Amino acid sequence: MLKFPSRLARPLALIGAALLALAGAGLTTAQPVPTAPSLPTIPAPRTPPGEINTLFLPPGNYTAIVIATTGKDRRWFISLKTSRGSFPITIGPEQTITIPFTAGWKVAPGDQARLESRLVPFEDLSERTPVDGNENLALSAWGITDQGPVNFAPPARRK
């Protein structure tokens, strides 16, 4: 056993007692368990309810696509879909937009090129008159090709 000078014995005893008390307190009290930081919850992709309205682009070399809406209050999202992917288009209230293809866009039958709209139907807006009372929301779309304007076709109805 080590012998310390008497003047150090008492302070060393007090320090030792304090350390033992602190160590004992740490062992008898609950310590927080470290946890991994919580990650934000990512919502699962959802498909909005409602009918999907579709117009198919006939094969051809397109220089532009034109889309118009009768909507007065909000913007709408339309998808230009092909066999290579889906591309969102936003159209604002009472807007007509033109999407140019300066180098041309060749649409082949296998491309399955189409425009899709949820809930809002496609129709020929030129058939409406301001006094007909038809205030229903609608979209209209057509293409510009090397040969001129082209109507897009709705899917064939099954009998």
Domains and CATH numbers, the chain: 52-150 (2.60.290)
Tell me the pLDDT of the chain averaged across its residues: 77
Residues 6+ apart with CB under 8 A from 66: 96, 97, 98, 99, 141, 142, 143, 144
Q: Is it the case that residue 20 has pLDDT exceeding 80?
A: no
Q: How sure is the predictor about 134, in pLDDT bands with cuts at 50, 70 and 90? A: low
Strands (E) in the chain, as ranges, are 52-56, 60-69, 76-82, 85-91, 96-107, 114-118, 139-145, 148-151
pLDDT tens digit string along 98-122? Answer: 999 999 999 999 999 999 998 787 8
More confident residue, 149 or 11: 149
Q: Which pLDDT value is given to residue 12?
A: 57
Q: Whole-angstrom Cα distance, residue 110 to residue 105? A: 14
More confident residue, 139 or 31: 139
Nearest to 54 by CA among 147, 154, 157, 131: 154
Q: Which pLDDT value is given to residue 34?
A: 62
Q: Residue with structure tokens 């879909």?
A: 81
pLDDT tens digit string along 30-61? Answer: 666 666 566 566 665 555 567 888 999 999 99
